[in-house]
A = this chain, B = another copy of it.
């Protein structure tokens, strides 16, 4: 898993189409509602009312509730890719590269929490209600992109293991645990945990440190 091996990976898929202002506003309202109450418990009327408008506006820009959900989740994923991918392309040693990626991941997540909470809400649960074949392919494309994103973490961790700087327990378990810990803000973050940018970055650095301790810790 050398430098050249990493470069073989395809660049992140391009963002579909830049959303207009109206779409942006709807996406934010939808992400906030979905993050608060979950997909099934959120009505489209509710999303509209949060912006002070009505359902017609939402259905003018999005064809279904499922499409709206996937759009919000994809937006969150796009933000992560934009911020984290450059760090993954960097030529520093794996432990420093992983730290930079993790830091960017956490900071991005805290900055746009609702979208990332939607993203983690499991598209797999939404797909049960996805009847349209078009919704299916949207959902599958999203899941694939999410897998690609996690792959860049798996790659750098695998590289660190091969160089002996990371501990050598099950790779799969190591990656899953590290990503779960790094996604922690989506579960427990609240406004009390810090408002100023300094507090946020301090918290992110501590979270990254904790996670890397787990990854780099001594074997047995």
Which A residues contact B (CB, under 8 angstroms)? 36-41, 125, 128-129, 167, 169-170, 173-174, 176-177, 180-181, 184, 187-188, 203, 206-207, 209-218, 220
Cα–Cα distance between A188 and B188 once the two chains are bound (Å): 19
When all copies of this chain in the complex are counted, the total is: 2
Contact of A40 among B38, B174, B177, B217 (CB under 8 A): B38
Cα–Cα distance between A28 and B181 once the two chains are bound (Å): 29
Cα–Cα distance between A128 and B33 once the two chains are bound (Å): 13
Q: Contact between B181 and A214 (Cβ–Cβ < 8 Å)?
A: yes
The secondary structure that dominates the A interface is helix
Cα–Cα distance between A210 and B178 once the two chains are bound (Å): 9
Chain B residues with CB under 8 A of A177: 181, 184, 207, 210-211
Chain B residues with CB under 8 A of A173: 203, 206-207, 210
Cα–Cα distance between A193 and B160 once the two chains are bound (Å): 23
Chain B residues with CB under 8 A of A170: 203, 206
Query: Shortest CB–CB separation between residue A178 and chain B, in angstroms?
Result: 8
Chain B residues with CB under 8 A of A218: 213
Chain B residues with CB under 8 A of A184: 176-177, 180
Query: Shortest CB–CB separation between residue A220 and chain B, in angstroms?
Result: 7
